[in-house]
């Protein structure tokens, strides 16, 4: 081999027996921790989330080093779902003002809630999930899961939130312009329970960024590898109830 490569045999053996550098040894140690974090997330975590895991273990490495180690060893995060057919086409019946106005940081609980609907894939088809999040704690305070997009899916989620929190003061409830949120029943429910409807601008997902981010994490961390559920209840127990809070 040395003759083919036209290198000195003595130089080759000197390189072969040269001790590894301290950084190389440290990278190999970190690689084991990175693989453990990656495998524990079923391949979902990228270098940023893995870096956070390593910091919790007391490691001081930065994200760039973690990214380099992952690239050198062919480790990459798995992406989420392909885009599903959207809902709520057409002009909404009622469009309240955007009272929330992207003020996602609040100082007291039960002053601003956000709500949205997403889809979850199973072997029996698609399920639809509606949630209500309190912006103060980022906790799910109400939710409903159904096989169709009837308007009662959002009403059931909001009813759970009202029943659990029982707010004494008016609460902003922010949503997109989906037909479920612009129905007369939604407006009547909000009026009856001292809730102030608020809506995003049409087609602007950033106006409801907290709910969008929650669903993104839910799909990546809880549902991407759980498409083999055959009953909606088992899916609720396994996928959704284990993620009550979004940081």
Looking only at the bridges linking them, the beta strands covering 112-122 and 125-134 are antiparallel
Residue 6: HSE in the Cβ half-sphere, 13 Å Cα cutoff = 0
Looking at the fold, whether 136 and 32 belong to one and the same domain comes out as: no
Residue with tokens 């690689």: 31
| pLDDT value of position 63 | 92
Rounded Cα gap, residues 203 and 71, in angstroms: 36
State how far the Cα of 48 lies from the Cα of 135, in Å rounded to an integer.
24
Which residues are CB-neighbours of 102 under 8 A, at least 6 positions away? 206, 207, 209
Tokens linked to 197: 């409807």
Q: Is residue 92 part of a domain?
A: no
Q: What is the 3-state secondary structure (H, E, C) of 21-59?
A: CHHHHHHHHHHHHHHHHHHHCCCCCCHHHHHHHHHHCCC
Question: What is the residue range of 133's domain?
Answer: 112-240
Residues 138 and 233 in one domain: yes
The domain boundary, picked from 23, 52, 72, lies at 72
Total of domains in the chain: 2
Q: State the 10-residue block means of pLDDT for the chain, 247 residues long.
A: 70 67 87 88 81 89 92 80 50 78 93 92 78 94 88 93 93 92 92 94 84 82 52 48 42
My answer on whether 132 and 197 are in the same domain is: yes
Is residue 35 in a domain? Answer: yes
Residue 101 counted as domain residue: no
**What pLDDT score does 246 carry?**
39
Tell me what pLDDT residue 82 has: 52
174 class by beta-carbon count within 10 Å (0-12 exposed, 13-18 middle, 19+ buried)? buried
Q: How many CB atoms lie within 10 A of CB 102?
A: 14
pTM as predicted: 0.60
Question: Measured on CA atoms in the order 104, 109, 112, 117, is the torsion positive or negative?
Answer: positive
Q: Which two tokens stand for residue 45?
A: 């975590």
Residue 202 has a pLDDT of 81
Spell out the alpha helix ranges (H) of the chain: 2-5, 9-16, 22-40, 47-56, 63-72, 152-165, 184-192, 209-218, 232-235
CA distance 9 to 72: 29
Tell me how far apart the 2 most distant CA atoms of the chain are, in Å. 88
């Amino acid at each position: 081999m040395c003759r083919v490569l036209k290198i000195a045999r003595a130089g080759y053996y000197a390189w072969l027996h040269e001790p590894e550098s301290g950084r190389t040894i440290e990278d190999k140690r970190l690689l084991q921790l990175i693989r453990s974090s990656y495998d524990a997330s079923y391949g979902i975590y990228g270098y940023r989330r893995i870096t956070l895991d390593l910091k919790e273990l007391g490691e001081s490495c930065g994200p760039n080093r973690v990214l380099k180690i992952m690239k050198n060893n062919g480790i990459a995060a798995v992406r989420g779902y392909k885009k599903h057919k959207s809902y709520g086409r057409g002009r909404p019946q009622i469009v309240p003002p955007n009272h929330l106005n992207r003020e996602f940081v609040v100082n007291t609980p039960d002053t601003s809630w956000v709500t949205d609907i997403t889809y979850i894939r199973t072997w029996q088809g698609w399920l639809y999930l509606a949630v209500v999040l309190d912006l103060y704690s980022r906790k799910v305070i109400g939710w409903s899961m159904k096989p169709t997009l009837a308007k009662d899916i959002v009403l059931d989620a909001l009813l759970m939130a009202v029943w659990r929190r029982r707010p004494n003061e008016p609460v902003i409830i922010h949503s997109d312009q989906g037909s479920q949120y612009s129905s007369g029943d939604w407006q009547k429910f909000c009026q009856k329970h001292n809730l102030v409807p608020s809506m995003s601008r049409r087609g602007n997902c950033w106006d409801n960024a907290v709910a969008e981010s929650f669903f993104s994490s839910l799909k990546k961390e809880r549902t991407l590898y759980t498409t083999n559920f055959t009953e909606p209840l088992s899916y609720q127990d396994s996928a959704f109830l284990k993620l009550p809070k979004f940081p």
